[in-house]
Structure 1
């Protein structure tokens, strides 16, 4: 029987395998036919993949069957033992960053290098976008990239 691994461990296998394969997160997303933001979050444990998607990633990165199984599992989203904001609006931002934060980090590092987005040299914009299924909230974070200098 194959060993069972967690989504967190699977994510680490994927990060290393992607690096070794010389593929970008965007290239993997293109192969899957999905947005890079969604696929990066999924590959880092934030969403389940279908069997066909997980198998495609296995072929691209040479992953074990245990990783493919972990990729298909429904994730736990958010901390199980930390205080969670109770205000619904603030909680949804916390939820979004919990699910997409690791993907944002990976994509920023891939696009810009080793650094962070400044929250000091920063602008934010909130807009309403009409949608037939219900209006959408569009929040834009616009922070200066600050590279780590060693």
Structure 2
């Protein structure tokens, strides 16, 4: 999904970002290199699901040859996360990710509780990446890493600073 025509909950600038990205033949990986950000973080900015810093906005506008004010108007504020998808999701790949949580969510919770104690994994102090792995038979596998700070008690950590060590 790369069009606001298919999802009215996306920022209006999303269409323009994708058009310019395509016209310039850029991947999210390349944009990430140019912005100094991870490719998934850049894609999340395109969809309005991550906050773009002033530097991100400036670099995106420059690389994609867009008006910085237009980009800043849509991406410069706080993201309205979680509104872009119907639940359950209908897009097949996104549904499979949803299905993974349906099938393994309680198991993840149990194992995390055993390893860390009762708590939650942050989606704010969080990073993720997507990698491609090829096995001995030449079969390609998608590897998605989710890395979130484990919070035992919200009083114990300043989420913006991370854990104190």
- The normalised TM-score by structure 1 is 0.51
Deviation digits for residues 19-47 of structure 1, max 9, x if unmatched? 00110011111111111111111122112
Counterpart Cα distance in 2 of 1:135 and 1:68: 33
Look up the match of 2:75.
Answer: 71
RMSD (Å), alpha carbons: 3.8
Counterpart Cα distance in 2 of 1:27 and 1:117: 23
Unaligned stretches of 5+ in structure 2?
1-8, 123-140, 143-165
Greater Rg by CA: 2
SS in 2 for 1:34: coil
How many residue pairs were aligned?
Answer: 101
Look up the match of 1:8.
Answer: 11
SS in 2 for 1:128: helix
- The normalised TM-score by structure 2 is 0.47
More contact order relative to length (CA 8 Å, sep ≥ 6) = 1
Counterpart Cα distance in 2 of 1:79 and 1:52: 25
